[in-house]
Chain A
């Protein structure tokens, strides 16, 4: 399989390093928090993912690039359980997401299992998906209060801190309809961050924005990427941004991983023709 052959410096890392102290190590030396294993996904006749293996290491920032229709978004949505793989498995912290054990047999995961395993994952969407009937503050405190059972004060304290991080602490009592696209997306980022996920999926988060609003959102994400503990899966068309933020770039096309490596390797010295022609369109 192509993906197998070109997994680069990450392929042979095994959990022996697990015992080492985590800290400011190279991402490659940490343990994988997410493992996609021979994932396939079809929508009816259409096969969008055609055998993908991918490990995401704890704290690692991965940028997933590729032409539209290459299955990038589907890969992210499967991790958030918004899409079910047709075959293959996804492990989160060594636990299978889409399968569970019942009476000694491996069966399809039920809602309770999904809910438990996906709790380490967060996601920011292309179309923000803010709750339009709630203020900015309420959008951000809803989950901490209801899911983490924080008190009102605690939840608001955390929310305000996150909103300050994205530069919107003065908008607490505004409603989403009163915000610009860029501001909405920053609220959505704060709303996801406040749950402190171990892996955050950013699904084309600037694609729905006016060009002049893209910068403010990318700046916020770069700032968040400073955090060593949270892994990020950035599905993006912003090549400059990917290059700046990512530890590793994964290039996918036609439902497979075609090439991956450090930003330097992929952008300076692409190996496959597919990637070369893809990159040419961005230069």
Chain B
């Protein structure tokens, strides 16, 4: 049933496709962090309409499936606007936008956990809004949510096969086309699954290391002013 020669033939193309999967994951994750931060900060804007719009957009994106959003970005958007993007870029934007809204909720919880006194002290010291966010609030809001951010990294990673629907040649699609050529399903899918498994485990190991780095020393957290 299991043919090592076939595995040897398969591996180069699977690993190449795995590079695409990994690339989309990392780029999508980084984009989701940027988008999440922008949404989370904008949701606290002193300008009412900005808050409403952000809330509506976040709600809208979270309430529709990633697949539908990908189809829209890849097939419909070029018909409506002059923008036509390659499938890989579209996939990254889709992942970044979709998980950016989830990430914004993660950041929101981190921001809410920063005591009001920190905002008040920033006001009393006449810090600008920008300086308050960058130097006071975010440095305290982000470290505690690193584990949750890490979970989303893994979720995004496991979601990349969805990109095959818009013709991104990622790991699972490659496994599938290999299987359709040889009619051997066992090796390609098993290998794809194993690659996902090993990488996910590596990710969570890395996250745990980060976590320990940020929470190992008491001095950086809990200023005794809650």
A111 pairs with B46, CB closer than 8 A: yes
Q: How far is the CB of B125 from chain A (nearest CB, A)?
A: 4
How many residue pairs bridge A and B at CB < 8 Å? 88
Interfacial chain A residues near B219, Cβ < 8 Å: 175, 177-178
Near B by CB (< 8 A), chain A positions 79-133 give: 80-82, 111, 115, 118-119, 121-123, 125, 127-133
Near B by CB (< 8 A), chain A positions 127-160 give: 127-133, 142-143, 146-147
| Minimum CB distance partner of B224 in chain A | A177
B190 at the interface (CB under 8 A from A): no
The distance in angstroms between the C-alpha atoms of A147 and B224, with both chains bound, is 26
A115 pairs with B126, CB closer than 8 A: yes
B140 at the interface (CB under 8 A from A): yes
Quick one: CB contact mask for B133-151 with A, threshold 8 Å, 1 for yes? 0011001100000000000
- Interface size of B in residues (CB-CB distance below 8 Å): 26
A125 pairs with B125, CB closer than 8 A: no
- Interface size of A in residues (CB-CB distance below 8 Å): 32
B131 pairs with A131, CB closer than 8 A: no
A195 pairs with B224, CB closer than 8 A: no
| Minimum CB distance partner of A132 in chain B | B223
Most chain B CB within 10 A, of A129, A143, A147, A188, is at A129
B220 pairs with A133, CB closer than 8 A: yes
A132 pairs with B121, CB closer than 8 A: no
The distance in angstroms between the C-alpha atoms of A147 and B136, with both chains bound, is 14
The distance in angstroms between the C-alpha atoms of A73 and B198, with both chains bound, is 58
Interfacial chain A residues near B139, Cβ < 8 Å: 133
The distance in angstroms between the C-alpha atoms of A181 and B117, with both chains bound, is 16
Interfacial chain A residues near B224, Cβ < 8 Å: 132, 176-177, 181, 184
Interfacial chain A residues near B117, Cβ < 8 Å: 125, 127-129
Near A by CB (< 8 A), chain B positions 112-163 give: 115, 117-118, 120-121, 123-129, 131, 135-136, 139-140
- Contact check: which of A118, A129, A132, A146 meets B131 at CB < 8 Å? A146
A35 at the interface (CB under 8 A from B): no
The distance in angstroms between the C-alpha atoms of A123 and B139, with both chains bound, is 23
B222 at the interface (CB under 8 A from A): yes
A192 at the interface (CB under 8 A from B): yes
Q: How far is the CB of B28 from chain A (nearest CB, A)?
A: 29
Interfacial chain B residues near A143, Cβ < 8 Å: 125-127
| Minimum CB distance partner of A201 in chain B | B124
B199 at the interface (CB under 8 A from A): no
Near A by CB (< 8 A), chain B positions 206-221 give: 218-221
Interfacial chain A residues near B131, Cβ < 8 Å: 146-147
A132 pairs with B123, CB closer than 8 A: no
A186 at the interface (CB under 8 A from B): no
Q: How far is the CB of A84 from chain B (nearest CB, A)?
A: 13
B121 pairs with A129, CB closer than 8 A: yes
- Contact check: which of B126, B129, B135, B222 meets A132 at CB < 8 Å? B222
**Residues of chain B having any CB pair with chain A under 8 Å:** 46, 115, 117-118, 120-121, 123-129, 131, 135-136, 139-140, 218-225
- 26 pairs of residues in contact across A and B, judged by CB atoms under 8 Å: A80-B123, A80-B124, A82-B120, A82-B124, A111-B129, A119-B126, A121-B124, A122-B124, A125-B121, A125-B124, A127-B117, A130-B225, A131-B136, A132-B140, A132-B222, A132-B225, A133-B223, A146-B131, A146-B135, A175-B220, A175-B223, A176-B225, A177-B218, A177-B219, A177-B223, A184-B225
Known: A129-B118, A131-B140, A177-B223. 8 other contacts (CB 8 A): A119-B126, A125-B121, A125-B124, A130-B225, A131-B135, A131-B136, A175-B220, A176-B223
Nearest 10 pairs between A and B by C-beta? Answer: A132-B223, A129-B121, A129-B117, A143-B125, A123-B124, A176-B223, A175-B219, A147-B126, A146-B131, A133-B139
